Amino acid sequence: MSLVSLHDVGFTYAYADRPALREVTLEIEPGLLYGVVGANGSGKSTLCSVLRGVIPHFHPGELTGAASIHGTDLLDWDPGELSRSVGYVFQNPFTQISGIKETVFEEIALGLENLRTDPAEIVERVLEVIDRVGIRHLMTKNPNELSGGQRQLVAFAAIVAMDADFVVIDEPTSQLDPETSEKVFSIIAGLKERGTSIVLVEHKIDLMAEYADRLIVMSRGRVLEEGPTREVLVSPSLDEAEVLRPEVTDLALALERRGDPLPRVPITRAEARELLAPRLEEAPDAHRTH
């Protein structure tokens, strides 16, 4: 059974004159990492809100079509129950941080307290996650005094701590440096290995190419394409959706236009290196430095 099943789903926010989602048909299978890509305002965050059930339970508006999570129609879910079974990281950490907790430790524990987890287990899990995310130095700080990047890590850690079977993550690295972004992605990959199903909105396409199993391409509220990452990254739908490709993919496409294609189109640097290396060995006069 699909984890989430959307059939011809549309949603229009109350007071909006146009739908934010149109004719969305999508099956999310368990155990995979789905990347959602698209321009700003293409409906990515609204799709996330449907997937975690805050549409229609908290955002007023008109939902059409059929949407079910774990086989139960979205409208039949108890909102509290649903929020406990789907973890969610907000795009803007300034929105997610509760503002009511005085330390990072308590902030991360908040979700587990709401799940009525045993206090001893809360301490153990929060400490474990704090180390995994690498924020022990922030543990006793006030969340309101953290930098944007630090808050983003705390918001992410809070969701990791909840250990949900299904997490929806909206731009977790927008304010992080490259090293920390990679770390967040490797933690997400670790969640997937433990069987967590993940939907991830992210602009960093190189990381998506490396980690996502499938990509969902959105434009103007519609899903233009859904498919294996490798196929989607060379699809014209990315141009229509105004989404950047990995630079190495662009490079291969530029070689194709030069009438000089590679045997296949790489989506990661490692693949590009493998495909280009034989060509350089055959061309001893190439601009080598060593």
Partner 1 sequence: MPIELTDARFAYPDGTLAVDGVTFTIGDGERVAIVGQNGAGKTTTVKMMNGLLKPTSGGVTVDGADISGRTTASVARDVGYVFQNPDDQIFGSDVQGELEYMPRYHRWDEAKRVERVRRAALMAGIGNFMDLNPNDLPFAIKKFVAIGAILVGECRYVILDEPTAGLDRRGLRLLGRILDQLREEGITVITITHDMRFVAETFDRVIAMAQRRVIADGTVEEVFARDDVVERAKLKRPEISQLARDLGLDAGAVRFDDVLGLLPAGRG
Sequence-distant (6+) residues with CB within 8 A of 28 are 2, 3, 4, 5, 34, 51, 197, 199
Sequence-distant (6+) residues with CB within 8 A of 254 are none
Helices 148-162 & 178-193 angle (0-180, nearest 10): 10
What is the three-state SS of 160-226?
HHHCCCEEEEECCCCCCCHHHHHHHHHHHHHHHHCCCEEEEECCCHHHHHHHCCEEEEEECCEEEEE
Residue 120 within binding range of partner 1, rule CB under 8 A: no
Residue 118 within binding range of partner 1, rule CB under 8 A: no
The 209-228 contact track toward partner 1, x by CB under 8 A, reads --------------------
The least CB distance from residue 5 to partner 1, in Å, is: 28
**Of 177, 186, 190, 240, which one interacts with partner 1 (CB under 8 A)?**
177
Residue 136 within binding range of partner 1, rule CB under 8 A: no
The least CB distance from residue 20 to partner 1, in Å, is: 11
Q: How many residues bind partner 1 (CB under 8 A)?
A: 52
**Of 68, 175, 197, 229, which one interacts with partner 1 (CB under 8 A)?**
175
The least CB distance from residue 174 to partner 1, in Å, is: 5
Residue 247 within binding range of partner 1, rule CB under 8 A: yes
Sequence-distant (6+) residues with CB within 8 A of 139 are 103, 104, 105, 130
Cα atoms found within 13 Å of the Cα of residue 284, Cβ hemisphere only: 0
Sequence-distant (6+) residues with CB within 8 A of 167 are 86, 87, 88, 89, 159, 191, 196, 197, 198, 199
In the bound state with partner 1, the residue whose beta carbon lies nearer, of 177 and 231, is 177
Residue 207 within binding range of partner 1, rule CB under 8 A: no
Residue 236 within binding range of partner 1, rule CB under 8 A: no
User: How do strand 33-38 and strand 214-219 relate by DSSP bridges?
Assistant: parallel
Site stretch for partner 1 (CB under 8 A), options 1-9, 97-105, 128-136, 254-262: 254-262
> 3-state DSSP call for residue 236?
coil
Return the residue matching tokens 């290196």.
273
The 80-109 contact track toward partner 1, x by CB under 8 A, reads -----------xx-x---------------
In the bound state with partner 1, the residue whose beta carbon lies nearer, of 41 and 99, is 41
Residue 17 within binding range of partner 1, rule CB under 8 A: no
In the bound state with partner 1, the residue whose beta carbon lies nearer, of 148 and 228, is 148
Residue 246 within binding range of partner 1, rule CB under 8 A: yes
User: How many CB atoms are located within 10 Å of the residue 116 CB?
Assistant: 8
Q: Which residues would be at the binding site for partner 1 (CB under 8 A)?
A: 38-42, 91-92, 94, 147-150, 171, 174-182, 203, 206, 242-244, 246-248, 250-251, 254-255, 260-262, 269, 272-273, 276-277, 279-280, 282-283, 285-290
